[in-house]
A = this chain, B = another copy of it.
Amino acid sequence: MEKKVALKDVAQHIGVSAALVSYVLNGKEKEARVGAEMAKRIKKAAAELNYQPNLIAKSLKMGKTKTIGLIVADISNPFFSTIARIIEDEAKKHGYVVIFGSSDESADKQLDLIDVFSTRLVDAFIIAPAAGTEEQIQNIINRGVPVVLMDRFFPNLKVDCVHINNLNASGKAVKQLIKNGRKKIGMLAYDTTQSHMQDRKQGYKAALKEKNIRFKKEWLIEASYQHLEKDVADKIKPLLKPLQIDALFFATNSLAVAGLKEINKLGIKVPDDLAIISFDESDAFDFFYSPVTYVSQSLADIGKEAIKLVINRLHSKSKKNTNVIVEAKLIVRESCGSL
């Protein structure tokens, strides 16, 4: 177990000051006007001694950790892990590393994570915020730490965010169902105040209205994030047995996976008995006997834009906050009854 070699070790090794070594190893030889000969010697010595800088010390000195704190609902959810991967790659390009945490859509857990990450001086946060946490976000901002919200946001919070236009996307999906002749369209959503969910429900209702279909409140069923399976099973049955609707729109892929299992159990045929559209992708959608139509949001874009916003914040102290809307498109396949 060889002992760590520090900056001063390489300095001593060739009898110069630590300052010089620091300059050279940080590519500041020009500004510091270090001799070319010297620079070469220093680099050589650093390599020979296998010097590895101590980023913790550097962070303490600089007040910057080159670390981004990522908070999502659940990193094991492919929606978030896919975004996480993009964020990891994009962050790396800028020399940042990411530490992550899962809030389980709980405001308390999210607060814990924010505290833990703050304590470790992350340079910025990227958060898919849990419901009712605008104050937490505002506090981060007040501390002067950049935050970017993704997937969900808070309308009256001045903060950078990136998301799709859920109202439109949802409307587009519902209108597709209507275009395919469906008139009794149900929706399975999450029971939360978060913007993305509100907008999706809103888009659903607006589309019905636009097409002169009167919304029935039994059509909209809601599950809690914490008891997904049970809630879906309990609430979907009254709607399907007997069949009160001719189409069902799922607000997320997790809802769709749970819902389709129930639909299978009940022996309902898609799309003949029931047309289906979901939000987001899933391997399951490709293998369902009637390939599932879905609203595709580019997770790559979300991740990239999130980092772009973070980096901008970090590099310029502009006050204005930006709101990036990424594209969403409807991938039409058999399940919605078009074919």
Partner-B contacts on A (CB < 8 A):
1-2, 52-57, 59-60, 65, 67, 74-78, 80-82, 84-85, 88-89, 92, 97-102, 115-121, 142-144, 257, 260-261, 282-289
Residue of B nearest to A86 (CB): B76
Residue of B nearest to A120 (CB): B55
Say yes or no: B287 contacts A142, CB within 8 Å.
Answer: no
Contacts of A284 in B (CB 8 A): 282-284, 286-287
Provided the pairs A54-B121, A120-B56 are in contact, do residues A67 and B99 lie with their beta carbons within 8 angstroms? yes
Residue of B nearest to A68 (CB): B99
Provided the pairs A60-B57, A98-B99, A284-B287 are in contact, do residues A84 and B76 lie with their beta carbons within 8 angstroms? yes
Selected contact of A76 from candidates B52, B59, B81, B120, CB within 8 Å: B81
Nearest-neighbour CB distance to chain B for A2, whole angstroms, equals: 7
Contacts of A60 in B (CB 8 A): 54, 56-57, 60
Residue of B nearest to A85 (CB): B76
Q: Count this chain's copies in the assembly.
A: 2
Say yes or no: A118 contacts B287, CB within 8 Å.
Answer: no
Nearest-neighbour CB distance to chain B for A62, whole angstroms, equals: 10
Selected contact of A88 from candidates B75, B120, B257, B283, CB within 8 Å: B75
Contacts of A257 in B (CB 8 A): 283
Contacts of A98 in B (CB 8 A): 99-100
Selected contact of A97 from candidates B55, B99, B142, CB within 8 Å: B99
Selected contact of A282 from candidates B121, B143, B283, CB within 8 Å: B283
